[in-house]
Amino acid sequence: MNPVSLILEKETVMKVLHGAAAGMALAVVLFLGTTTANSAGKPATASPKQVLVVNTGDGTVSQVDLASLKEIGRYKVGPRPYGIAVSQDNKTVAVGIEDEEKVKFFSLPGFTPKSEVKIGKMFNDHIALTKDGKHILVANFYSDDVVGIDIETMKESFRIKDCSAPHVVRYGPQNRYIYVTCKKITGVAIIDPVERKLVKFHQLTVNPRSLTFSPDESKVYFGSFWVNGFFEADLKEGKVTRLFEQAPPKGMTVPQEVTYHGVQAVHDGIVLGANEGRSYLDAVDVKSGKLLDRQMDVARPCCIEPIPGGGKGSDARVLLSNLGDGSLQVVDVSPEGKLRSLGKAQVGKAPKRVAFLNAP
């Protein structure tokens, strides 16, 4: 049996044995993978059954079943794909094809081409779907714009300007503002996707190459270059406030440009950092700065994405994109910051950005 399925089944059995009728019902829901409830009793969050990942190195997108961790489809999309987003109805996928300087739209299932939008010169342009599901936002590095494209008409609708070589484009946990890492004048921009305007720009002394948040969005965390750690910036003060430096293992101490890339807050006060250059995953307590756990069974991990459906009070679940062996890896994180790999899915060459979807 696949490691993910085995662990899910074990968790379900324990709930049945130790819970009452309500606990049994919840366990069945968890096992079926339809929804999960968090420890605070908030509304359940849908759990995706599949994920799409762009394979930047071979110009494809892989479709992976999350329960079995098997690739169930691989589709040619064009040279050097990077950003990706899926419509809320799971019928349309948008992929940034950087060597063609455009965003291409494909229908699901089947990945049949639908349309395309010319962007201009691109460089690792992230793509995000707005919360209302009406637009995708493309962080276009070379134009300094965040480009809004209507997901239904598949045409450009608007541009939010003055973002100074935007790279990451990501909603904060409050789901109101979108935060953008800026690479020319280094910093973080805050944009309002409803008003379609730049709200604030925080110039920082460090070049951010990733982004995650404290629950109240007062602090952001990001990786950079040439340091054995990741940074914290206080957005109330508008400045970098801490470096969470973590000593590398013996034999890996030679300075190098690429170290921590992806970061992801999981539990309150715990941030994961993917050390792409040295090939390990760290769990760090950002209150104390203490290294809680380090996982070496990874292969140059670059991106970390939380899998929807995890909740506070139980293990959080994330997906790693491993450049080193062309895999997606599922990792659980306990509330104490202990890391546990659940297995890998082999995909294409140099997998990076992902987008989740439910099976039809």
- pLDDT value for 328: 98
Q: How far apart are CA 77 and CA 306, in angstroms?
A: 25
The pLDDT tens digits of the residues spanning 39-82 come to 334 445 678 999 999 999 999 999 999 999 999 999 999 999 99
Angle between helices 21-32 and 3-18 (to 10 degrees): 170
Residue 27 and residue 163 in one domain: no
210 and 81, same structural domain? yes
Chain segment 164-174, per-residue pLDDT in tens: 999 999 999 99
Residue 310: pLDDT band by 50, 70, 90 thresholds? low
CATH number of the domain enclosing 149: 2.130.10.10
pLDDT digits (tens, 9 = 90+) for 113-132: 999 999 999 999 999 999 99
Do 72 and 193 share a domain, yes or no? yes
pLDDT for 47 = 82
299 in the same domain as 167: yes
Q: How many domains is the chain partitioned into structurally? A: 2
> Does 94 lie in the same domain as 201?
yes
* Domain match, 271 and 137 both: yes
- Give percent of the chain above pLDDT 90: 82
Q: Are strands 166-171 and 155-160 parallel, antiparallel or unpaired?
A: unpaired
Look at residue 243 in the predicted model and tell me its pLDDT.
97
The candidate with the shortest Cα–Cα distance to 155, out of 115, 126, 128, is: 115
Check residue 360 and give its pLDDT. Answer: 53
Report the pLDDT value the prediction gives residue 314, as an integer from 0 to 100: 84
- Regarding whether 205 and 137 lie in a shared domain, the answer is yes
pLDDT score of 32 more than 70 = no
- pLDDT tens for 152-167 read 999 999 999 999 999 9
Examine the domain organization and report whether 6 and 85 are in the same domain. Answer: no
User: Considering only 26-35, 78-87, 106-115, 206-215, which range has the smallest mean pLDDT?
Assistant: 26-35
Range in 57-61, 168-172, 252-256, 260-264 with the lowest mean pLDDT: 252-256
Query: In terms of C-beta density within 10 A (0-12 exposed, 13-18 middle, 19 or more buried), how is residue 296 classed?
Result: exposed
Q: What is the pLDDT of residue 358?
A: 73
Question: Which residues have C-beta within 8 Å of that of residue 97, sequence separation ≥ 6?
Answer: 77, 78, 79, 80, 81, 103, 104
β-strand partners of 320: 304, 329
327 with 183, same domain: the answer is yes
Task: Say yes or no to pLDDT of 4 above 70.
Answer: no
Confidence (pLDDT) at 309: 83
pLDDT of res. 344: 98
pLDDT at 214 over 80: yes
Task: Indicate the range of 20-29, 87-96, 199-208, 274-283 predicted with least confidence.
Answer: 20-29
Query: In the block, which residue shows the tokens 């890896």?
Result: 329
The mean of the pLDDT values for the chain is: 89
Pick from 5-9, 305-309, 316-320: least confident: 5-9
Pair (13, 137) in one structural domain = no
Q: Do 270 and 133 belong together in one domain? A: yes
| Integer angstrom CA distances of residue 293 from 16, 137, 270, 324 | 30, 35, 11, 21
pLDDT per position as a tens digit, 178-201: 999 999 999 999 999 999 999 999
The contacts of residue 11 (CB under 8 Å, 6+ apart) are: 27, 30
Unique residue bearing structure tokens 């309002």: 192
Tell me the residue range of the domain where 59 lies.
33-357
Contact criterion met (CB below 8 Å) for 249 and 236: no
The CA distances from residue 43 to 23, 268, 309, in Å, are 16, 19, 11
Residue 249 confidence (pLDDT): 94
Specify the pTM.
Answer: 0.86
DSSP state of 282: E
Residue 351 identity: P
User: 335 and 257, same structural domain?
Assistant: yes
